[in-house]
Amino acid sequence: MPAPKAPVLDGTGKKAKDLTLDESVFGADVKPHLVHEAVRAELNASRAATRGVKSRGLVAGGRSKPWRQKGTGRARAGSTRAPHWTGGGVAFAVRSNFVAKVNRKERKAAFRAAFDRWLAWEQSPSLPGGCPFMAASFELDDRPGPVRDFVVQNLRDWIDTLAGAARIAVNEGHFRADLDCEQFAHDCQGIGLAFVHASRLMRDPKAHQRAAHAFETLLQNCRAAGRRR
């Protein structure tokens, strides 16, 4: 498979040449279902799960039949923990645990896929002004009002999402235990801002490469000991 390339635009917006990108980042096969699983795991982890009842499989006792199958004159029964028995389990029990596990390779692929798609979206021809949230943050930073409040809230939600994803990675042992998740989210946002400046304002032909290298370095520094690949 040939290395992926991206067009480099000159000051007039025309294509000047093609830039070869890092194949390990931009040449990877993007699988949307991995991103979906990572997002689902994060949303599930944020659920309080304050309700909980026991199904028949969780109630203690009931290991043997309460009486023999025939000859007693009573209805047949297999366990005293059936839902229709007093003290038995609950039928269709409410879930109390919503944890969804995502293994290390899947989470790594999901991070890279999301990052790659974000860069591609920011460079999409359908967005001549680039990322609308980035552009709005520069335009509305000193202009109070409902539009600015909307942009601020969306950026805060995005940063909270990044921090939440880092917390899940820490809990599952993919990132080191002493990682500052808020700082991780801040660094990710900083890479995005630097990429927009280098790509849109400075027309740096290596903007993609520098952003990819910064992202890989960040992930490498966050990984737990013994997980360097």
What is the residue type of 59?
V
Please give the Cα distance from 33 to 10 (Å, whole number).
36
Residue 8 lies in a domain: no
Say which CATH number the domain at 181 has.
1.10.357.10
**pLDDT (0 to 100) of residue 183:** 93
Q: Is the pLDDT of residue 71 over 60?
A: yes
Q: Is the pTM of this model over 0.75?
A: no
In a domain, 156, yes or no: yes
**What confidence category does residue 1 fall into, taking pLDDT thresholds of 50, 70 and 90?**
low
| Same domain as 107, residue 184 | yes
pLDDT tens digit string along 82-92?
999 998 899 98
How many residues in total does the chain contain? 229
Domain co-membership, 30 together with 90: no
Task: Please report the pLDDT score of residue 29 as a whole number.
Answer: 62
Residues 118 and 83 in one domain: no
- Kindly report the three-state secondary structure assignment for every residue of 144-163: CCHHHHHHHHHHHHHHHHHH
Question: How many domains in the chain?
Answer: 2
Q: Report angle CA 216, 222, 227 to the nearest 5 degrees.
A: 90
Count of other CB atoms within 10 angstroms of residue 112: 21
Residues 142 and 158 in one domain: yes
Using one digit for the tens of pLDDT, what is the confidence trace for 100-148? 777 777 777 777 777 777 777 666 665 666 677 777 777 777 888 888 8
Structural domain span for residue 163: 21-47+103-222
